[in-house]
Structure 1
């Protein structure tokens, strides 16, 4: 177990301009997929950009660059060809809008989504003040319920109740998260980087959140709350404790994942209620090296598709 240390107890170090990488672009993620037998290409010439390679329908190889900061798109495409991917289709999903991809012949497929990113460099009192009023009210409610929150490293157990509850929930709600074996590979390959926060009423666990730490940031991975946990606002208490624990460990940011105000409005409100800011991703693009810039005019016809949408606070 870990004791919670308030983030304001010790002085915060001077923050320098350091890159914050998404989970899919982290060394920790790379180690996890390697354990599962995959062989990602890591481009050290571009800040260790991770390129996943996957075969579809048993015969089509595809390279995928997910959540990378593509500041030099031309150099990225050149490096892919230099590494033997001259005729391999490439799927690019940049961390931020990258309109120059259209000039290079990439074709837009999916318009940009948005994620919620919570900064952790402010003081505990500033973080509390940044909570939305309804979110803060639920936190106050949870804090009055005599709940106990415990933090520990995620066990390497495929039958752990949180993993099984999440798998069942995926089936019921029709969405897909990581397979259990990938989560366990992350736990195995990154000791101490998968943090399980659980809320207890007496001896009964009523809610849990699993946070994956990577580099200087962290990602909200999976969570589950029982009916009793929801009635006591336990999820808000868990998130508050997790935010403060991460800040005390000098993590700079917590990625709360995609914001979907149409199909998951309640979850979107919960994420944004933490004070997190919206960040627009760069959409999804397809590039086929043999065509080069020939598809550039086609991409230019659909620029509106890759214009980030404005999402309100659900």
Structure 2
């Protein structure tokens, strides 16, 4: 099943060598700074080209030099730091969007003990429902039922994930690193979870549960099976994605119920290096919004 041992690189999916390899294979190679940060070229709706540093580990002492050596010092930058980095304002970067939070699950040690009681109860219930769980590499089929179901869900709930071709490209480029866990009631799939592995980390990428699956708490069972398998394979953390107790409280409770900890990201910053520190006074007005609270 191509279950290769993970390499020791703990970075977000968007900054992983696996993601970089995928982009190169689809003809959209990222720029790689000398500190290995990935920068993606994007064209904004207004026609302006920018470079995007998504989920990047930012060091303001080395960033200007890295940007210059990469030839990006005249390009507007959109920076999404992996952690709160209010000191970006010292470079003249301007806060654009306040930080969101992700659910970060530690896969080392005892996985059962940190489970919240209600989550553990639902897992126990699911284990008694005679569900059959399978694990396989993600089929390279754009019409797979998980894609169809999640696309319909995205339209209803008005959110976006990766385009299906990009997900399939990741699975094809990184053999064995896109794992699909499926729960069946008899022969009918009632829930599925797609996990993307990268280095010693992994990311919850897609998931869907039918009404029957919800009745059987199948999603809890699949998450547990994925957690156990990832830990057994040497992965140290699982990124469960964004959480919002205001917009999606139920989903946030599900993710945090695994024992995951909420972790604040660094928000979104805009920086045009050619302006130097001209906008620093403006940035200082909103810096508190970008700091860890």
The TM-score range, normalised by the shorter chain, is over 0.9
Contact 1:280 1:308 in 2 (8 A): yes
Give a deviation string over 1:4-42, Cα, whole Å, max 9, x none. Answer: xxxxxxxxxxxxxx6510000001111222222212111
Whole-angstrom distance in 1 between the partners of 2:238 and 2:211: 26
Contact 1:2 1:152 in 2 (8 A): no
Count of equivalent residues: 289
Q: Give the gaps of 5 or more residues in structure 2.
A: none
Pairwise CA distance, 1:117? 0.5
Match of 2:19 in 1: 29
Q: Give the gaps of 5 or more residues in structure 1.
A: 4-17, 310-314
Establish whether residue 40 from structure 1 lines up as the match of residue 27 from structure 2. Answer: no
Instruction: Return the TM-score normalized by structure 2.
Output: 0.95
Contact 2:83 2:266 in 1 (8 A): yes
Whole-angstrom distance in 2 between the partners of 1:225 and 1:306: 35
Whole-angstrom distance in 2 between the partners of 1:2 and 1:200: 23
Pairwise CA distance, 1:59? 3.6
Pairwise CA distance, 1:269? 0.4
Contact 1:154 1:194 in 2 (8 A): yes
2:184 counterpart (200, 209, 213): 200
Contact 1:2 1:151 in 2 (8 A): no
Pairwise CA distance, 1:74? 3.6
1:234-273 to 2 correspondences below 5 Å: 234-273=218-257
Whole-angstrom distance in 2 between the partners of 1:57 and 1:254: 33
Whole-angstrom distance in 2 between the partners of 1:148 and 1:185: 28
Partner SS state of residue 75, structure 2:
coil
Contact 1:206 1:234 in 2 (8 A): yes
Match of 1:12 in 2: none
1:1-314 to 2 correspondences below 5 Å: 20-43=10-33, 45-46=34-35, 48-57=36-45, 59-70=47-58, 72-122=59-109, 126-308=110-292
Whole-angstrom distance in 1 between the partners of 2:32 and 2:243: 28
Instruction: Return the TM-score normalized by structure 1.
Output: 0.89
What is the RMSD of the two structures over their aligned residues, measured on CA atoms?
A: 1.6
